[in-house]
Amino acid sequence: MTFESFEKKIGVTFRDKSLLRTAFTHRSYINENKGSGMEHNERLEFLGDAVLELVSTVYLFNKYPRKNEGDLTSYRSALVNAATLSEIATELDMDSYLLLSKGESKDKGRARQIILANTIEALIGAIYLDQGYEGAEIFINKYITPLIDDIAKTGKWMDSKSSFQEKAQDKVGFTPSYKVVRETGPDHDKFFTIAVFLGDEKIAEGEGKSKQEAEQNAAKNALTVKKWIY
3-state helix, strand, coil in the chain (%, to 5): 65, 10, 25
Do 149 and 164 lie in one domain? The reply is no
Residue 39 lies in a domain: yes
- Which one of 42, 121, 159, 213 is the catalytic residue? 121
Judgement on whether residues 177 and 115 belong to the same structural domain of the protein: no
Is 14's pLDDT higher than 80?
yes
Q: Rounded to an integer, what distance in angstroms lies between the CA atom of residue 49 and that of residue 188?
A: 12
- The whole-model pTM stands at 0.74
Number of domains in the chain: 2
104 is known as an active-site residue:
no
**Band (229; pLDDT cuts 50, 70, 90):** low
Question: Catalytic: which of 42, 45, 49, 104?
Answer: 49
Q: Are 171 and 228 in contact (CB under 8 A)?
A: yes
The tally of CA atoms less than 13 A away on the side-chain side of residue 215 is: 14
* Residue 228 pLDDT greater than 90, yes or no: no
**Do 107 and 201 fall within a single domain?**
no
The pLDDT confidence band at residue 25, using thresholds 50, 70 and 90, is very high
Distance of CA 155 to the CA centre of its chain: 18
The residue from 110, 133, 154 where one domain ends is 154
> Using the 8-state DSSP alphabet, how is residue 158 labeled?
S
Same domain for 143 and 165? Answer: no
* pLDDT higher than 70, residue 138: yes
Bridge-based pairing state of the strands 201-208 and 191-198: antiparallel
Helix residue spans in 92-228 (DSSP H): 102-105, 110-143, 148-154, 160-171, 211-225
Residue 13 has pLDDT above 90, yes or no: yes
Helices (H), 24-109: 27-32, 42-63, 69-80, 82-91, 102-105
Q: What pLDDT score was predicted for residue 73?
A: 84
49 is catalytic: yes
Domain range for 169: 160-225
> By three-state DSSP, how is residue 53 classified?
helix
C-alpha 35/C-alpha 7 separation (Å) is: 27
For residue 29, give the CATH number of its domain.
1.10.1520.10
Residue 201 belongs to domain with CATH number? 3.30.160.20
